Structure 1
Amino acid sequence: MTYQPIIPFSGYAGWVVLQNTKENQQAAFNQSVTMQREVEYFRENISKITSAEELVSDYKLLKVALGAFGLDDDINNKFFIEKVLNDGTLNSDSLVNKLTDKRYLEFSEAFGFGDFETPNTVLSTFPDEIISAYQEKQFQIAVGEQNEDMRLALNLKDELSTLVAKDTTDNGRWYSVMGNEAMRTVFETALGLPSSISNLDLDQQLTIFRDKAAQYLGDAEITQFENPESQEDLIKLFLIRSELNSGTSDTSSASNALALLSAS
């Protein structure tokens, strides 16, 4: 049986509770029978895999591999996944370098089938790295089954930390935000933007996102989120706006949030 995360409140009040209890809840989730069985199989068998074909042929290994990158829905797209892995990331013509969703690039890069003669699966540190990412992503999914906004907020913290570390321009980072469905949802909601802006020219979208970020967050650059406090400001704005948009915000919820923030 899998541990079910506990989120007693919606909105920012629920986020504060989740943040304060996440370490213990994640540990309980990791110790569940299902999770233990999945990670033990991965740890014992992944070093035997030396090709993309072998990986996609083992459902249990592929489940953990994809799940570590939030690509769970691709479990049956074996031909596509094998292509993603075999092409690698070093050639500009590789499939992953043409895809908007950069999770596939990170997935292919992590396994290294198309980039190196010897894949990363044989490295001693590899199993624990993938397992840690898998457990984190699966916990987020479990949280999402209770409250989708909380899942998006948890995912955002991971994504932003990776994004600000990228060796690219800040406009490039904004394009990454716009090309990532989960992050885009958070930013659109937090900045009060309609989803219909995706129909605009990409450069127009960039200008709008930057202008609104400067207006509501005081800075138009994604690099501001190197600061954990800036990340928290964005998440707070997202959760408050989302709750208001859903019509579930009330005085009781606001009082709970204030009490929890004061306690922390």
Structure 2
Amino acid sequence: MSFAPVVPFGGYAGWSFLTRTMEAQKQAFTQQASVQRDTDYFREKIGSVKTAEDLVADRRLLKVALGAFGLQGDINSRFFIQKVLSDGTLDNTDLANRLANKSYYELASAFAFDLATPSTQISTFADEIITAYRNRKFEEAVGTVSDEMRLALNARRELEKLAGKQSSDNTKWFTILGSAPLRSLFQTAFGLPKSFAAIDLDQQLGTMQSRADRYLGSREVAQFADPARVGDLIKLFLLRSQVQQVASISSGAAALTLLQNAQPKNLLSRLA
């Protein structure tokens, strides 16, 4: 029997419950037979993998490897993934460096098949990938209950990593804008419409920075190295998301009332 994460409330109350019970829920989730089979197999076999070709040839290993980076949708794109992995990341022309989705860069960098000794030969590597895989799988399961909670979990994981990277602040903001889950969370948290994505990219950057300064007290992505600041962002996102949902329900109810008042009773009886 599969375990489904428990999120009994919506909005910030639901997030508070989820964070309080996170460790217990994660443990129950990862103890499922299917998850254990995947991770046990990965731990046992990954040490025998020395090339990108070795990895993509074993579908069970590839499932965990891709799942750890949120790329499980590419499980059937073996030649593409092999190219990403075998190229590596050391040269600007390497495929992972040219793809907009930086998860491919993280995948190639983690396995390091372009180095003399790939990461698969390091004793701690299996546990690192398994931990990432379990976290991603748990987030997916949470998403089946609440997409807002999944976006919040993704932000908590990704923003801490992004904040610590040795790159310019503008580059970090462009990374956020290029990530669909992070963009969605920030746009909602900052009260920006869906049409925001259609304006000039430099304008998007400026708006994000000014809104961050207005709502969080700093325009820099480096602030998210502080878990408390990430928590403030998530709280803002969930509260605004709830407001939008209530407004949508209220608008729908108002529209229904207008429709009912405008329609002849005999038509309403046929619609009922």
Per the normalisation by structure 2, the TM-score is 0.88
Q: For structure 2, which runs of at least 5 residues remain unmatched after alignment? A: 250-272
Q: 1:174 maps to what in 2?
A: 173
Q: Distance in 2 between matches of 1:103 and 1:194?
A: 26
Equivalent residues in 2 for 1:107-126, closer than 5 Å: 107-113=107-113, 115-126=114-125
Question: In the alignment, what sits opposite 1:226?
Answer: 225
Q: Does 1:141 align with 2:127?
A: no
Query: C-alpha separation between the residues in 1 aligned to 2:235 and 2:212?
Result: 14
Structure 1 residue runs of 4 or more that deviate by more than 6 Å after TM superposition:
none
Gap change, CA 1:72 and 1:20, over 3 Å in 2: same
Structure with max Cα Rg: 2
Q: For the residues of structure 2 that align with 1:238 and 1:118, how far apart are their CA atoms?
A: 43
**CA separation in 2, counterparts of 1:153 and 1:217?**
16
Q: Distance in 2 between matches of 1:130 and 1:226?
A: 22
Structure-1-length-normalised TM-score? 0.91
| Deviation, structure 1 residue 182 | 0.9
Structure 2 Cα separation of the partners of residues 248 and 131 of structure 1: 41
- Preserved contact between residue 163 and residue 173 of structure 1 (Cα < 8 Å): yes
Moved more, 151-160 or 219-228: 219-228
Given that 2:160 and 2:227 are in contact with CA atoms closer than 8 Å, whether structure 1 keeps it comes out as: no
2:41 is paired with a residue of what secondary structure? helix
Cα displacement (A) at 1:201: 2.1
Identity across the alignment (%)? 50
SS of the counterpart of 1:247? helix
- Give the aligned partner of residue 12 of structure 1: 12
Distance 1:226 1:164 in 2: 5
**Offset of residue 43 of structure 1:** 0.5
Partner deviation per Cα, 1:12-50 (whole Å, 9 max, x = no partner): 100000000001111111111111111000001111111
1:206-235: CA deviation from partner (whole Å, max 9, x where unpaired): 011111111222211111112221111100
Q: Following TM superposition, by how much is the alpha carbon of 1:102 offset from its aligned partner in structure 2, in angstroms?
A: 0.8
- Indicate if the aligned counterparts of 1:243 and 1:249 stay in contact, CA closer than 8 A: no
Structure 1 regions of 5+ residues with no counterpart? Answer: 251-264
Structure-1 residue corresponding to 2:156: 157
Q: CA RMSD in A?
A: 1.4
Q: Deviations over 1:88-111 (max 9, x none)?
A: 100001111111211110000000
* Helix, strand or coil at the partner of 2:76: coil
Q: Distance in 1 between matches of 2:215 and 2:31?
A: 41
The yes-or-no answer on 1:84 pairing with 2:84 is: yes
RCO higher in structure (CA 8 A, sep ≥6):
1
Number of equivalent positions: 249
Q: 1:255 aligns to what?
A: none
